[in-house]
């Protein structure tokens, strides 16, 4: 099938993508933070975020999406790896074994009594790596003519 040169108008697709992008993105944030007690976590959240960006890429084109989200996804992968490694290596400097996690309860404004766990930082690293790798693959394949 060859690409036709007719002027096409994807009004419905682009309008739907603009709304559904935010639904998928906020759902992925929910999946990311719910990972400690319910199904979910960094990997599924990262895949959902990248699928939201893929929806934008399909509805618009690579150049527009790069203008909307000016992110170098390779740096994103590197940031995630450094974050995960730093979270895992931090206990060495306070005399605990590698990969020891800490948690405590804090009184945050607006949230009340919240338990914060360093496993969430490790999960954030996984999230960034998954989004970065997936978007790097899709951008690299999409740019190939």
The length of the chain in residues reads 145
With 0-12 CB in 10 A as exposed, 13-18 as middle and 19+ as buried, what is 141? Answer: exposed
**Of residues 61, 75, 85, 86, which one binds another protein by CB under 8 A?**
61
- What is the token pair recorded at 98? 């590698």
Rounded to whole angstroms, how far apart are CA atoms 129 and 42? Answer: 9
Rounded to whole angstroms, how far apart are CA atoms 118 and 122? Answer: 7
**Window contacting another protein (CB under 8 A); options: 74-82, 96-104, 111-119, 134-142:** 134-142
Rounded to whole angstroms, how far apart are CA atoms 72 and 62? Answer: 13
Asked if 5 is part of the footprint of another protein (rule: CB under 8 A), the reply reads yes
Asked if 11 is part of the footprint of another protein (rule: CB under 8 A), the reply reads no
**Of residues 29, 33, 43, 54, which one binds another protein by CB under 8 A?**
54
**Of residues 22, 26, 38, 102, which one binds another protein by CB under 8 A?**
38
Query: Which stretches of the chain bind another protein, using CB under 8 A?
Result: 1-5, 7-8, 13, 20, 24, 27, 31, 34, 38-40, 44, 48, 51, 54-55, 57-64, 138, 141-143, 145
């Amino acid at each position: 099938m060859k690409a036709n040169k007719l002027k096409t108008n994807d009004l419905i697709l682009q309008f739907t993508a603009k709304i559904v992008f935010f639904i998928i993105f906020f759902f992925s944030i929910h999946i990311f933070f719910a990972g400690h007690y319910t199904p979910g976590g960094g990997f599924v959240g990262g895949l959902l975020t990248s699928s939201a960006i893929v929806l934008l890429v399909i509805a618009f084109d690579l150049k527009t999406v790069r203008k909307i989200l000016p992110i170098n996804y390779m740096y994103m992968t590197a940031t995630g790896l450094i974050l995960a490694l730093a979270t895992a290596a931090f206990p060495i400097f306070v005399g605990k074994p590698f990969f020891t996690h800490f948690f405590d309860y804090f009184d945050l404004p607006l949230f009340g009594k919240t338990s914060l766990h360093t496993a969430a930082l490790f999960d954030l690293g996984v999230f960034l790596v998954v989004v970065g790798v997936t978007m790097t693959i899709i951008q690299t394949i999409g740019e190939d003519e």
